[in-house]
Amino acid sequence: MAIKLFQPKKNRVLPGFKLTLGFTLFYLGFIVLIPLAAVFWKTSTLTWLEFWHTITMPTALASYRLTFGASFLAALVNVIFGLIVAWVLVRYKFFGKKIVDALVDLPFALPTAVAGITLAALYSKHGWIGQLLTPLGIKVANSQTGIFIALTFIGLPFIVRTVQPVLEDLDPELEEAASSLGANRWQVFWRVILPMLTPALLTGFALAFARALGEYGSVIFIAGNIPMKTQITPVIIMAELDMFDYAKATAIAVVMLVASFLLLLTINLLQWWTNRHNTTNLA
């Protein structure tokens, strides 16, 4: 007599894979894919010559260099200092730690326009910080330096909040084992800790970089919007929209979209390779 063994189904918080998957695809399509498709559709109303002329305007090319360069540099600086902030919050106990931890999230909660006005007031010629830098010949407001500071301000939380939980989950025994084998502090950090943090750092870098590319509110007040010098790409897009030239605005937006996608894809592939390399080494 055959005895059938029944295995109970695993309990799921959200039952119904097909239903939840269908809702996920519908939500992503409605929120993400349809607006992006509309951008490409509106751009298609231009001829190829008009499209090429729009995206290669001298002001547009200058804005690409400034936007991508400042965003990349700000994200790179945030990787370094964000790692330090996350390390302090995880590894040390000190008075006011909760306040410092809450301040990290301030750029998330603060409206970007308020952040831009505040930074412009602080770094202007007569601002609290600007009046100290002006005698030294350092100009922040209405300069590319101001753009870099604004993008660094809004990108820092992405690095800290991405690295912080990974640091908290690191097993201290790995560091103790490396130390017992004769490794000094720098060797423990470079060869044990940093490889484990690299995927999180790459993720935080990608998030901060992508956030900086589309930033508008916190930059417009401190940049000065000088064509060919301090004019970022989102400002050019807004200028075209103000003139109701939607096709040109979407054409420049398509360039930003494609470039951002390729850069983020490259970072994700690098992150995947790093995860695989670390897994192989641990095995």
271-274's contacts with Cβ under 8 Å and 24+ in sequence apart are: 271/199, 271/202, 271/203, 271/206, 274/195, 274/198, 274/199, 274/202
Which residues are CB-neighbours of 275 under 8 A, at least 6 positions away?
Answer: 199
Which residues are CB-neighbours of 247 under 8 A, at least 6 positions away?
Answer: 42, 43, 45, 46, 50
Residue ranges and CATH numbers for the domains of the chain are: 38-282 (1.10.3720.10)
Query: 197 near 163, Cβ under 8 Å?
Result: yes
Query: 135 near 129, Cβ under 8 Å?
Result: no
Query: 222 near 119, Cβ under 8 Å?
Result: yes
Tokens read off for 183: 């490794």
Would you say the pTM of this structure is higher than 0.85? no
Would you give per-residue pLDDT tens digits along the chain (283 residues)? 445 554 455 556 656 677 888 888 888 888 888 888 888 898 888 889 999 999 999 999 999 999 999 999 999 999 999 999 999 999 888 898 999 999 999 888 888 888 888 888 899 888 889 888 888 888 888 889 999 999 999 999 999 999 999 888 887 777 778 777 777 778 888 888 888 888 889 889 988 998 898 888 889 888 888 888 888 998 898 888 888 888 999 999 999 888 888 877 887 787 777 767 666 665 5
Q: Which one-letter DSSP state was computed for residue 184?
A: -
